[in-house]
C-alpha cells in the first residue's frame, strides 16, 4: 500500500493545526459544563449526530451553490467507498472505532479528574501520533527539533507540576480517570494515523462524514433522550457549541493532515493544555459557580512559555524530507 504524501502547503497545514488546537483547548471546559446536565453517552451521541447533520447540510448546500462536489462525485467521492480494498476498509473501521472510543473514554476520564488534568494525560495522544508518523510514514526530526521536544517536555513538567503531583498522590477515582484518558489517547492516535493513510483514497470530508454517521448510529441505543428536554439556556448553548466544535475542529485536523506532516501537527496540538487552563481561568471568572478556578503560579507561567517555544521549534524547524519523496516548500 502506498503511503500518504502531504501536499507541502505547510502554511495552510499550520493554520488548520492552530485552529484545531484552539478548539480542542476550549472544548474540555465546555464539555465539563454540558456533563452537569447530560451523561457521557448522551453527550457523545449528540456530538456525533449534530456533526453528521451539519456536515451533510454543508456538503448539500455546497453542491447546490457550486455544482458537483468531489466528495459526492469522481474517483474520490462516495462511490469510492464501494471500491475500498481490504486494507483500506480496515483502516476506515479503525478510524471509526478510534474516534468512537476516544470520545466517551475522554469524557469519563475528565469527569473523574478535571479538564486541565485530563489535558495533561491526553498529551500522550499527539506523542503517539508523532511516533507513529515517524515509524510508519518515515517522517524525521532534526537535532533542533529533538531539542524542541526537550524544551516542550520541560515546559509541561513546570506547567503541570501541581496537577502531576495530584495524579500520582490522588484518590483511586483520580487514577481510574487518568487511565481512561490514557486509553482515549491510544484510541485517538489510532484514528489519526488511519485517517492520514485514508487520505490517499478518500477526501477528508467524506471520511469524517462516514465516521460521524457510523458513530451516531452506534451510540443511539445508549442515549438518554429525556435528558435533553427542559435544559437551561446555558446547557443548550454548551451542547450546540460541542457539536459545532466537533465538526470544525476534526474537519480542520483532517484537512491539516493532507497538507502537513503528522509529527509537526502533533507538536502544535501540544498547545491544547495551555489553552484549556487559560480558558478555564477566564470561565471561572465569568461563571464562578459552574467552573472552579485552576491555579497558575510563576512556574506555570514559565512552563507556558517553554511549551509554546518548544512547539514552535518542532513545528517550524527544518527537517529531512519524506522518504522516499522529493522536496516541498516547507520552512
Please tell me the predicted confidence (pLDDT) of residue 125.
82
Mean pLDDT of 136-142: 75
The answer to whether the predicted template modeling score (pTM) of the entire model surpasses 0.85 is no
In a domain, residue 120? The reply is yes
Question: Do 257 and 104 meet the contact criterion of CB atoms below 8 Å apart?
Answer: no
Question: Do 94 and 194 meet the contact criterion of CB atoms below 8 Å apart?
Answer: yes
134 vs 132: CA distance, rounded Å: 5
Question: Do 271 and 24 meet the contact criterion of CB atoms below 8 Å apart?
Answer: no
Question: Do 255 and 204 meet the contact criterion of CB atoms below 8 Å apart?
Answer: yes
57 vs 52: CA distance, rounded Å: 8
118: its cell numbers: 485530563
Angle of helix 262-269 relative to helix 233-259, nearest 10 degrees, comes to: 150
In a domain, residue 326? The reply is no
Q: How confident is the model at residue 319 (pLDDT cuts 50, 70, 90)?
A: very low
Question: Do 272 and 24 meet the contact criterion of CB atoms below 8 Å apart?
Answer: yes
In this structure, the number of other CB atoms found within 10 A of the CB of residue 2 comes to 7
Query: What's the total number of domains in the chain?
Result: 1
Please tell me the predicted confidence (pLDDT) of residue 297.
67
In a domain, residue 269? The reply is yes
- Give the angle 43-243-118 at the CA atoms, nearest 5°: 60
Residue that wins the pLDDT comparison between 319 and 318: 318
pLDDT(83) > 60: yes
In a domain, residue 321? The reply is no
In a domain, residue 4? The reply is no
pLDDT(324) > 70: no
23 vs 111: CA distance, rounded Å: 19
**Structural domain span for residue 211:** 10-316
In a domain, residue 126? The reply is yes
pLDDT, tens digit, 9 for 90 and up, residues 168-213: 665 678 778 888 999 999 999 999 899 888 888 888 888 999 999 9
183 vs 122: CA distance, rounded Å: 9
pLDDT, tens digit, 9 for 90 and up, residues 103-120: 999 999 998 888 877 877
pLDDT(323) > 60: no
Amino acid at each position: 500500500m502506498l503511503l500518504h504524501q502531504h501536499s507541502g502547503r505547510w502554511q495552510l497545514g499550520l493554520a488548520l493545526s492552530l485552529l484545531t488546537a484552539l478548539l480542542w483547548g476550549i472544548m474540555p471546559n465546555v464539555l465539563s459544563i454540558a456533563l452537569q446536565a447530560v451523561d457521557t453517552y448522551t453527550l457523545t451521541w449528540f456530538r456525533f449526530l449534530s456533526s453528521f447533520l451539519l456536515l451533510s447540510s454543508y456538503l448539500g448546500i455546497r453542491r447546490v451553490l457550486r455544482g458537483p462536489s468531489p466528495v459526492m462525485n469522481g474517483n474520490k467521492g462516495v462511490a469510492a467507498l464501494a471500491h475500498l480494498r481490504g486494507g483500506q476498509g480496515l483502516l476506515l473501521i479503525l478510524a471509526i472505532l478510534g474516534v468512537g472510543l476516544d470520545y466517551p473514554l475522554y469524557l469519563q476520564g475528565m469527569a473523574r479528574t478535571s479538564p486541565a488534568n485530563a489535558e495533561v494525560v491526553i498529551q500522550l495522544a499527539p506523542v503517539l501520533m508523532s511516533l507513529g508518523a515517524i515509524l510508519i510514514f518515515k517522517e524525521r526530526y532534526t537535532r533542533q527539533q529533538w531539542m524542541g521536544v526537550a524544551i516542550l517536555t520541560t515546559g509541561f513538567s513546570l506547567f503541570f507540576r501541581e496537577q502531576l503531583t495530584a495524579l500520582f498522590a490522588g484518590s483511586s477515582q483520580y487514577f481510574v480517570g487518568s487511565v481512561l484518558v490514557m486509553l482515549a489517547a491510544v484510541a485517538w492516535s489510532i484514528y489519526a494515523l488511519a485517517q492520514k493513510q485514508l487520505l490517499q483514497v478518500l477526501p477528508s470530508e467524506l471520511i469524517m462524514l462516514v465516521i460521524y454517521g457510523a458513530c451516531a448510529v452506534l451510540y443511539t441505543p445508549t442515549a438518554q433522550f429525556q435528558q435533553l428536554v427542559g435544559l437551561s439556556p446555558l446547557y443548550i448553548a454548551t451542547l450546540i457549541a460541542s457539536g459545532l466544535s466537533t465538526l470544525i475542529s476534526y474537519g480542520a485536523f483532517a484537512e491539516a493532515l493532507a497538507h502537513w506532516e503528522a509529527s509537526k501537527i502533533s507538536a502544535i496540538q501540544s498547545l491544547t493544555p495551555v489553552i484549556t487552563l487559560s480558558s478555564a481561568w477566564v470561565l471561572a471568572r465569568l461563571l464562578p459557580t459552574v467552573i472552579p478556578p485552576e491555579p497558575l503560579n510563576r512556574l506555570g507561567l514559565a512552563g507556558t512559555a517553554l511549551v509554546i517555544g518548544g512547539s514552535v521549534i518542532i513545528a517550524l524547524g527544518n527537517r529531512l524530507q519524506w522518504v522516499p519523496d522529493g522536496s516541498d516548500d516547507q520552512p
